[in-house]
């Protein structure tokens, strides 16, 4: 094979219990050389970190292409740690004789390979539908089973490739192009319907985490989480269930990290500190690679000493009541979508949205100066005044405004349910192109007929 050929490399690593002595790690990679496609994978010793798994995936890929006479590559990792280490940090580490360098032995191996191999990088977002990255991730996850069996062998297999799309246009029969700093794609903002200060889920046990449903709740401070246990009756409790069409890989990853620190027979309510996680700075930081910065403090996950990521609630019964309450909202949404005769759906979008001078939907200006509004609804011939208080029994008005910037189609409805002779319950439903949500305060959403 010509030494002027360029190999395309798609490496990835996976770890359960990152940073723990009993962590389990695997690596996987897809390598393309000419018209041939190869897959490599293997397990790592117990206690390895996710960054080490990423390094091994990249290192074994370079060893493999070198064995085929290839000295140039274009790699597509989802790890900024690998990219920055190779492009920016490794030279300085070597000059100071690798002193105080994490994973020094791994980087020394790469430094030796770098003497004869060169190439470029394009960062890809992990768990985002990139075909080769997803395949490498599957190989890495599969290889964790090898790690459990203390098998750290390296496995390679040539597969018969179908026609594939090369996302960079770099052909492996061409000479490698001049090195350019790859532009990091802008990280997409989280859906605006996730408007609570905290997201509630369960970790551990047999609880099956549904990556398409995220519970959102809001309290005045971190202290309220511990003292109110999330489920206490309160006029200040704001709850909502948000159903998304696409997963949020970052939350899935943090959920897995927290679960890995729970005894297998526990199922414990856990709160994501969402207001902190979704801030522009933290959101970007977590998407660039955070594994080595995670630490456990009193069973809560922190990023280093700066960012409080999760609140781990050990035994609060009321927290389970809160989860039950939010799951009831999910059932309510499904009843609305199924056209159940036991619920009423009243479109109130015109109370929130108007068209601007350019014909684009925008939040009504008067909403910026009020805290609540009353919406009169006819329920089977009985009138009720729905007292919608922003961020107390309904979504924050800023949520609607931001959602209108993310998508053009937004619909707001009042859902009337649990209708009795003297009154009913009500909730707010918000729908967009890629999500739907149900919000209320279960302590205050009961209305008598007028």
Distance CA 284, CA 316 (A): 33
154 SS3 class:
strand
Q: 309 lies in a domain? A: yes
Question: Is 252 a catalytic site residue?
Answer: no
Q: 185 lies in a domain? A: no
Say if residue 337 is in the same domain as residue 233: no
Say if residue 347 is in the same domain as residue 401: yes
Check if the beta carbon of residue 191 is closer than 8 Å to that of residue 433: no
39, 60, 78, 291: the catalytic one is 78
Q: 165 lies in a domain? A: no
Question: Is 40 a catalytic site residue?
Answer: no
Give the domain-ending residue among 274, 291, 318.
318
The yes-or-no verdict on residue 161 having pLDDT over 60 is no
Distance CA 125, CA 132 (A): 12
Say if residue 291 is in the same domain as residue 339: no
Give the domain-ending residue among 94, 129, 159.
159
In which domain, by residue range, is 404 found? 331-448
Beta bridge partners of 363: 353
39, 54, 224, 239: the catalytic one is 54
Q: 181 lies in a domain? A: no
Mean pLDDT for 387-397 is: 81
Mean pLDDT for 97-111 is: 93
Say if residue 359 is in the same domain as residue 231: no
The yes-or-no verdict on residue 223 having pLDDT over 60 is no
Confidence (pTM): 0.59
Q: 374 lies in a domain? A: yes
Mean pLDDT for 320-343 is: 85
Highest mean pLDDT among 106-120, 313-327, 379-393: 106-120
Task: State both tokens at 56.
Answer: 């091994």
Q: 179 lies in a domain? A: no
User: Tell me, what's the pLDDT at 236?
Assistant: 59
Give the domain-ending residue among 259, 291, 318.
318
Strand order from edge to edge, sheet including 24-33: 118-121, 72-75, 6-16, 24-33, 36-43, 154-159
Check if the beta carbon of residue 415 is closer than 8 Å to that of residue 427: yes
User: Tell me, what's the pLDDT at 107?
Assistant: 95
Say if residue 311 is in the same domain as residue 398: no
How many structural domains does the chain have?
A: 3
Say if residue 237 is in the same domain as residue 371: no
Question: Is 288 a catalytic site residue?
Answer: no
Distance CA 407, CA 404 (A): 5
User: Tell me, what's the pLDDT at 299?
Assistant: 78
Residue 94's CATH number:
3.30.420.10
68, 127, 130, 351: the catalytic one is 127
Mean pLDDT for 350-362 is: 90
- Nearest Cα to 414, choosing from 362, 364, 379, 363? 379
The yes-or-no verdict on residue 62 having pLDDT over 80 is yes
Question: Is 137 a catalytic site residue?
Answer: yes
- Nearest Cα to 440, choosing from 389, 378, 397, 402? 389
13, 28, 119, 394: the catalytic one is 13
Question: Is 13 a catalytic site residue?
Answer: yes
Question: Is 78 a catalytic site residue?
Answer: yes
Say if residue 301 is in the same domain as residue 221: yes
Say if residue 412 is in the same domain as residue 278: no
60, 137, 224, 239: the catalytic one is 137
Say if residue 37 is in the same domain as residue 151: yes
pLDDT tens digits, residue range 4-28? 588 999 999 999 988 788 899 999 9
């Amino acid at each position: 094979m010509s030494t002027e050929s360029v190999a395309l490399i798609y490496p990835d690593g996976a770890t359960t219990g990152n940073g723990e002595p009993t962590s389990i790690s695997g690596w996987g990679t897809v390598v393309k050389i000419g018209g041939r496609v190869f897959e490599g994978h293997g397990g790592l010793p117990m206690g390895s970190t996710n960054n080490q798994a990423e390094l091994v995936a990249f290192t074994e890929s370079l060893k493999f292409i070198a064995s085929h006479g290839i000295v140039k590559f274009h790699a597509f990792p989802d790890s900024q740690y690998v990219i920055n280490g190779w492009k920016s940090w490794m030279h300085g580490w070597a000059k100071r004789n690798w002193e105080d360098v994490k994973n020094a032995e791994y980087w020394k191996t790469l430094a030796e390979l770098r003497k004869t191999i060169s190439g470029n990088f394009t960062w890809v977002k992990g768990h985002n539908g990139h075909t080769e990255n997803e395949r490498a991730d599957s190989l890495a996850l599969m290889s964790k089973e090898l790690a459990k069996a203390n098998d750290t062998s390296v496995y390679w297999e040539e597969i018969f490739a179908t026609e594939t799309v090369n996302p960079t246009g770099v052909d492996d029969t061409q000479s490698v192009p001049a090195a350019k700093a790859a532009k990091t794609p802008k990280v997409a903002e989280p859906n605006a319907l996730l408007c609570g200060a905290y997201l509630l889920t369960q970790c551990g046990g047999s609880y099956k985490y549904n990556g398409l449903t995220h519970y959102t709740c809001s309290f005045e401070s971190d202290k309220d989480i511990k003292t109110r246990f999330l489920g206490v009756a309160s006029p200040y409790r704001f709850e909502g269930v948000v159903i998304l069409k696409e997963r949020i890989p970052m939350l899935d990853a943090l959920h897995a990290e927290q679960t890995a620190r729970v005894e297998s027979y526990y199922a414990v309510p856990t709160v994501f500190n969402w207001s902190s996680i979704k801030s522009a700075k933290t959101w970007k930081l977590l998407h660039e690679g955070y594994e080595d910065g995670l630490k456990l403090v009193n069973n809560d996950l922190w990023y280093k000493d700066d960012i409080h990521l999760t609140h781990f609630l050990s035994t609060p019964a009321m927290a389970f009541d809160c989860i039950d309450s939010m799951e009831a909202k999910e059932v309510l949404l499904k009843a609305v979508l199924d056209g159940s005769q036991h619920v009423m759906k009243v479109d109130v979008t015109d109370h929130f949205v108007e068209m601007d001078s350019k014909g684009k939907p925008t939040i009504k200006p008067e909403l910026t100066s009020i805290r609540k509004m009353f919406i009169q609804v006819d329920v089977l011939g009985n009138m009720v005044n729905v007292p919608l208080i922003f961020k107390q029994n309904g979504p924050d008005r800023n949520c609607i405004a931001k959602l209108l910037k993310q998508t053009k189609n937004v619909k707001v409805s009042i859902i009337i349910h649990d209708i009795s002779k003297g009154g009913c319950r009500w909730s707010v439903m918000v729908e967009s192109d890629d999500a739907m949500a149900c919000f209320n305060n279960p302590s205050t959403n009961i209305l008598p007929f007028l």
